[in-house]
Every structure is written in C-alpha cells, then in structure tokens.
Amino acid sequence: MKQLLLLGGGHAHAFVLRSLVGAPIEGTRVTLVTPHRHHLYSGMLPGLVAGHYALGECVIDLAQLAARAGAAVVYDRVASVDPLRRMARLERGGEIEYDVASLNLGSLPNFAAVPGAAEHALAAKPFEPFVAAWERLRARGRSQTLRIAVAGGGAAGVELAMAMTRSLIAGGRAGEIELYADRPAFPPGLGRRVARALASAAVAIHPSTAVDAVEPGPVVVARGERRSFDALVWVTGAAPQPWLAETGLTLDPAGFVLVDQHLRSISHPQVFAAGDTATLLGAALPKSGVYAVRQGAVLARNLRRAAEERPLESYSPQRVSLALISCGARYAIASWGPFAAEGEWAWRWKDRIDRRWITAFLP
C-alpha cells in the first residue's frame, strides 16, 4: 500500500481531498497533517473581520472533507521533512513515511530586518490566532478609542484596515486606523481608487513609509518618528517555514520550495508543493491564494498520476487575474489587468464567488 502524505491544510490540499471523494486512488493510503480541523478561507477574512460573515461561513471543515475522501487526519504541525528517507517528522515527535508527499503549508509573516516586529506586532497569519486576537482586541476598553496601525499597503493590508474600521463602527466603538505602506502596491488607476476607498473609510495613510522598528507598547518607529498604538497588525511580505532550509530540497533565494511545471520539486521528484509554500521555476508569481486555487486542481490530478505512475500534467499560471478588493462596507473594487471599476455590485460579485468556493467543499 502506497502512502500519499498531504502536509498542510491549505487551499490546494482542500482541492486534493475533494477530488478523492468517491474516487480514491487505488492501492494508496492518504494522510493529511494539519494543526487545525478547519481551514479559514483567506478571501473571506476581511468580510469576517468586518462583520459580514460568521466564522462558520468562512471555513472548510477539513476533518469532514477528509472523512468523505477516505483520508486519515493527524492534528499536528510539521517539524521537518527528510526527502532521502521519505519521512516527515512532526512537532509532537511522531514520524510518518511516504511514497509521495505534497506541501501546502502557506507562509509566515515576514518580520525580517524590522527589529521588535516579531515580538510586538500582531501577525495576520496564521489566520486562526489572528481572528481570536482581533476579537479580544475589539472587546478591550469599549469606552476608549482604539488606535491600530497596519503595516503593509498591499491588497491584504488595505482590506484588513478598512474591515477593522467597519467592525469598530458597527460595534459602536471609536477607532483610529493608520496604514503604513512602504511602496505603491497597485497600478496608478487602481491605486487612486484604493486611496479614495481608504479615505472614505477614514483610514489614515502613511505612503512610502516603511516601519523601521517596533518597540513595546507597541510603538511604531518610522521615518524617525515614534507613534504609540493599541496594536500593530503585520500584513507585509511572506516568509517560508524555517525548517525548509534543512530539508535538502532545492529552494528559491527566499527559501520557498522550487517546483517545475508539474508542481513537483526540481530536486526530489517524490515531493510536490503548491500555494505560498512553492515558487514556480521561471515564473515570478506573488504569494496569493488566487494562484493556490488554480494550482489545486492540477495538483490533485498530478498526485493521482504520480501514485499511479502515469505522466504528469503541466500547470500554466493565469497571465491576468481578477482582483476584488473589499472596502469594509458592502462595497468593493474590481480590477482585471488595466481595467478597474467599483461599487456595491462588485461586493455582491465577490460575495457570490467566495460563497461558491466554500459551498464546493460541503457534502
């Protein structure tokens, strides 16, 4: 009996499990290793924070999905992978051997080169502890103005900044949200729309301002100024799992697993990787769930083909992807290449896409 080992419960592995429902791989045992029973869909995180969704509407029940797929589940974190021994070691000390392994472990917050950030900032990833921390923060000192800084001017940062503003208003809280963006993250036309949306949501922007250090408080140090906040939410950059550096797998300069067009390690063909964990050889793709979703279908077919020793399928990343940026309220900005538009209709469009994604994994 062969062993297919799925390390991590991200978007792509949810696709893999769904593909196994009613269609198991003959002669193959499948095991999922994940620290969480539920996978929180990143596309709905801003809506959850803003109060548009309940937590149960934004998650995939991995345990239920695995049971339907005939896969075993081990609730633990990966500590290391030894591709020569074809073995994964878990944080609690267990080991699992594999014939084929797939890594879909996401990424970690990138605190590199910012002293104090790891100790004093609230990371937006992993999502589960962030949501719990946000709820505790929102409940703190209801009679006082809550001052929050957000580090990261990309789509994730601006969405969370506006979502938190919306959440505070809906809860009758006074709040001040400030966004630190070290560089322009959007094309000019889209950037102007985002800037207007941030202004409308009363989010103060510090453009071209990187956070240089974080001190206890937290205190944000930027451009020689020190500003105190109740919390600093860190939504900038992506860092790999640190143990990947010890595996012997070929990595990109940032430390992510380098994969070929089949989503297979270029150095160890029994190991596949997708989503934020992977970097596609010859393609500079951003770390975004948009690509993990597309990769999931190809990964599912290739893991089946690998187990059955059949030729693999190639993955071709989309050249242009649809971006739907939620603006706190039930309003969103849509962009496709050079084209952009906005309105309540865009939020309804995003809502339908997100709900359809979650529904696809239900019984």
Q: Can you tell me the distance from the alpha carbon of 358 to that of 28, in angstroms, rounded to the nearest whole number?
A: 27
Shared domain for 124 and 203, answered yes or no, is yes
Is 70 exceeded by the pLDDT of residue 181? Answer: yes
Of 237, 259, 291, the one marking the end of a domain is 237
Q: What are phi and psi of 138, to 5 degrees?
A: -65, -30
Is 90 exceeded by the pLDDT of residue 184? Answer: no
- Mean pLDDT score, 115-125: 94
Shared domain for 179 and 225, answered yes or no, is yes
Is 331 part of any domain? no
Q: What is the pLDDT of residues 31-45, one digit of tens each?
A: 999 999 999 999 999
Q: Can you tell me the distance from the alpha carbon of 268 to that of 247, in angstroms, rounded to the nearest whole number?
A: 10
Shared domain for 287 and 260, answered yes or no, is yes
Query: Which whole-number Å values give the CA distances from 190 to 44, 104, 136, 342, in the listed order?
Result: 21, 31, 34, 10
The first and second tokens of residue 299, run together, are 């990964």
Neighbour tally for 52: CB within 10 Å = 21
Determine the distance from the C-alpha atom of residue 260 to the mean position of all C-alpha atoms in its chain, rounded to a whole number.
22
Is 301 part of any domain? yes
Query: Which DSSP category does 131 fall into?
Result: H
Is 227 part of any domain? yes
Determine the distance from the C-alpha atom of residue 66 to the mean position of all C-alpha atoms in its chain, rounded to a whole number.
21
Q: How many residues does the chain have?
A: 363
Given a contact cutoff of 8 angstroms between Cβ atoms, the answer to whether 250 and 265 are in contact is yes
Which amino acid does the sequence have at 290?
Answer: V
Domain that holds residue 103: 2-108+238-307
Name the average pLDDT for the chain. Answer: 93
The pLDDT score that the predictor gives to residue 141 is: 67
Q: What are phi and psi of 146, to 5 degrees?
A: -95, 120
- Mean pLDDT score, 328-353: 95
State how beta strands 257-259 and 278-280 pair: parallel
Is 80 exceeded by the pLDDT of residue 20? Answer: yes
Shared domain for 287 and 185, answered yes or no, is no
**DSSP characters for 187-199?**
-HHHHHHHHHHHH
Kindly report the CATH number assigned to the domain that includes residue 13.
3.50.50.60
Shared domain for 231 and 136, answered yes or no, is yes
Is 80 exceeded by the pLDDT of residue 221? Answer: yes
Is 80 exceeded by the pLDDT of residue 106? Answer: yes
Q: What is the pLDDT of residues 185-204, one digit of tens each?
A: 899 999 999 999 999 999 99
Is 80 exceeded by the pLDDT of residue 93? Answer: yes
The pLDDT score that the predictor gives to residue 321 is: 79
Shared domain for 252 and 197, answered yes or no, is no
pTM summary value: 0.93
User: CA triplet 119, 121, 125: central angle to 5 degrees?
Assistant: 105
The first and second tokens of residue 313, run together, are 């399928």
**DSSP characters for 292-353?**
HHHHHHHHHHHHHHHHTT-PPPPP---SS-EEEEEESEEEEEEEETTEEEEEHHHHHHHHHH
Q: What is the pLDDT of residues 63-88, one digit of tens each?
A: 999 999 999 999 999 999 999 999 99
What is the number of alpha carbons within 13 Å of residue 9 lying toward its C-beta? 29
User: CA triplet 119, 243, 305: central angle to 5 degrees?
Assistant: 130
Q: Can you tell me the distance from the alpha carbon of 322 to that of 12, in angstroms, rounded to the nearest whole number?
A: 18
Quick one: 183 exposed, middle or buried, by C-beta within 10 A (0-12, 13-18, 19+)? exposed
Number of independent structural domains in the chain: 2
Is 77 part of any domain? yes
Q: What is the pLDDT of residues 135-155, one digit of tens each?
A: 999 888 666 889 999 999 999
Which residue do the tokens 């697993």 mark?
A: 257
The first and second tokens of residue 264, run together, are 């297979």
Contacting residues for 225 by C-beta, under 8 A, at least 6 apart = none
The pLDDT score that the predictor gives to residue 252 is: 95
The pLDDT score that the predictor gives to residue 123 is: 94
- Mean pLDDT score, 193-217: 96
Q: Can you tell me the distance from the alpha carbon of 103 to that of 34, in angstroms, rounded to the nearest whole number?
A: 11
Buried b (16+ CB within 10 A) or exposed e, 193-219: bbbebbeebebebbeebbbbebeeebb
Of 237, 254, 283, the one marking the end of a domain is 237
Going by pLDDT thresholds of 50, 70 and 90, the confidence category of residue 58 is very high
